[in-house]
Structure 1
């Protein structure tokens, strides 16, 4: 079966794509992308991602989730998530459960300027665990952010009995990644990994059966000052192939198989 490329983590509902979404979709299809696993960061995005799922059946695979960082008031910096940010989201998870391929983007971000206090970290953990519980209840995988919190993110998911997870743009230590591999989790890498060799050791140590491809578009492209797009998934594929000493075709096929094992509801329409 030709799965094509599976972009396991992208923000296709982001405002950056509003003006030319159709062209972005066409470029993705021309590059061989067959599935866009579309994540959200907050409840205000939920209706948009579900609308795109209706507009592009079989291509857009929707996830709903509340990110550990939220936008503050217009013009202000991002802030750490609060438990009340989840209130409006919880009923939506259940209402739209049949449409979802995963709960995401959820996770922990303990970067000091994003979560400066213990209360911030406690609030993030509270929101994370509540969403892990929803995923377990609905028998859905999770699409996870883990910045400056790799070890605790993986440990928390294991404690909560999560068996299917994607750790996106993973930048933790190889030893921590291998704990996730033991738990059966997958790891994905965006085109930004091509900018330097920092992730090479990590990519080499994670078994190919646990690697997926992502763009995290519109962010994390080859050039940090330019909008990233799903069609750039080919860059991640080539880079991982190079690091692993495999052909790009092998990496494309294996990562797509991994993605469909992780997100079995993708491509069902």
Structure 2
């Protein structure tokens, strides 16, 4: 399995990162993909990648919740890092209107800028949305020239929204929300095509049942796969096989 979205470099793992990585390996996790969020997260993320080069892979992007008055300079930092070395994706990027809409316009500019960076670098994008799927889709539709690929991470929307996303050639990242009794995904997942799904944890956040409310970690990807298997009436092995193939293809990961 591949955990396609894990903040394993976060301070929540500073005391036991080795143990967390070991548990991930034992649970069958072959790769852990790490999205960047802002300039301050770059150093710990790259240090984690350097410490675990056979399993941890870094992305580079500016998270919408970290778009502020200094966003233009921060975008230059993101672009500078792409000039220094390669990354598996541009992410995580997007629009978040849940907490605050003060920088809505700036978030949109940052999103478009990073979509164009992805096209220039021929890399997939990892998209964060919260209370903003339609706004995000509208911008993505304008920028989609056939070359953009990526994933709407932590998907918890409707079947219609899922269809709009996959119609644009994008994947759906399913994580802990899929296991929540009140998450609504039990009505959506049965109708999704496994060829459009990749697995994720978004750790340390959104731990799946039975660990909900506690720190999440990559090993719990297995619980997400098992829940999807129940909802899709297939085996966890089939979910593992297809989602791993999807992730390897999308992020151009060697087996």
1:246 corresponds to which of 222, 234, 252: 234
**What is the CA distance between 1:121 and its match in structure 2?**
1.1
| Pairs within 5 Å for 1:213-224 | 213-222=199-208, 223-224=211-212
Confirm whether residue 6 of structure 1 aligns to residue 15 of structure 2.
Answer: no
CA distance in 2, matches of 1:60, 1:24: 12
- In the alignment, what sits opposite 1:107? 94
2:17 equivalent to 1:21: yes
2:130 is the alignment partner of 1:147 = yes
Q: Alpha carbon RMSD of aligned pairs, Å?
A: 1.9
Kindly report structure 1 stretches of 4+ aligned residues shifted beyond 4 Å. Answer: none
Tell me if the contact between 1:42 and 1:70 (Cα under 8 Å) persists in the aligned partners: yes
Aligned length: 250
Q: TM-score, normalised by structure 1?
A: 0.87
Question: Aligned residue for 1:42?
Answer: 38
SS in 2 for 1:146: strand
Distance of 1:28 and 1:129 partners within structure 2: 34
> Secondary structure in 1 aligned to 2:37?
coil
Alpha-carbon contact 1:58-1:267 (below 8 Å) kept: no
Per-residue CA deviation, residues 213-256 of structure 1 (Å, 9 max, x unaligned), is: 00000001034431100000011000111111110000011000
1:86 aligns with 2:78: no
Residue 81 of structure 1 deviates from its aligned partner by 8.0
**Aligned-residue offset at 1:123:** 0.6
Instruction: String of CA shifts for 1:83-140, please: whole Å, max 9, x gaps.
Output: 44323322112222x2x110111111112x322x4xx211100111111111111100
Query: After superposition, where does 1:1-269 map in structure 2 within 5 Å?
Result: 5-70=1-66, 82-96=71-85, 98=86, 100-111=87-98, 113-115=99-101, 117=102, 120-161=103-144, 162-196=147-181, 197-222=183-208, 223-264=211-252, 266-267=253-254
Structure 1: how far apart are the matches of 2:43 and 2:69?
Answer: 23
- Report SS of the residue matched to 2:129: strand
Larger deviation, residues 194-203 vs 237-246 = 194-203
Separation in 2, partners of 1:101, 1:88: 17
Q: Distance in 2 between matches of 1:198 and 1:82?
A: 35
Q: 3-state DSSP class of the match of 1:251? A: helix
> 1:48 is paired with a residue of what secondary structure?
helix
Is the 1:102–1:141 contact (alpha carbons within 8 Å) kept by the matching residues of 2?
Answer: yes
More strand by share: 1
Q: Deviations over 1:149-177 (max 9, x none)?
A: 11222232232125311111112221121
